[in-house]
Amino acid sequence: MAVGLFVTLFYVFAHKGLFFIAGTGYLGLIGGASSFFGITPEAFGAVGAALNLVAYLVTKVTPPPPEHIQAMVESVRTPRGSTSVSGAH
């Protein structure tokens, strides 16, 4: 997910300026205003989403993390002292 976000931010900041500050754009670095098939910065999120799809597919063809890593992630997700919810609200 970070790949899509950073690529999109890089492209948008190239056109609109760093953090949207006028005069800080770096279009020359990426080849000009229509450098990536003429896609506008506002529409470049679709390219970022496509890169996220590629990252998702890579996770499907690589082995899962070891059990101890999965257990560590699950322990971080559950706050200390909490109990699991059972039944209706």
pLDDT in tens, 17-64: 888 787 787 777 776 666 677 777 778 888 888 888 888 898 899 999
Domains identified in the chain, total number: 1
Q: Is residue 15 included in any domain, yes or no?
A: yes
Burial bucket for residue 75 (CB in 10 Å: 0-12, 13-18, 19+): exposed
Domain range enclosing 25: 2-76
pTM of the shown model = 0.53
Cα–Cα dist 14/30, whole Å:
8
Asked whether residue 14 is domain-assigned, the answer is yes
Judge whether 11 and 30 are in contact, CB under 8 Å: yes
Which residues, 6 or more positions from 45, have their beta carbon under 8 angstroms from its beta carbon? Answer: 8
The pLDDT value recorded for residue 77 is: 81
81 belongs to a structural domain: no
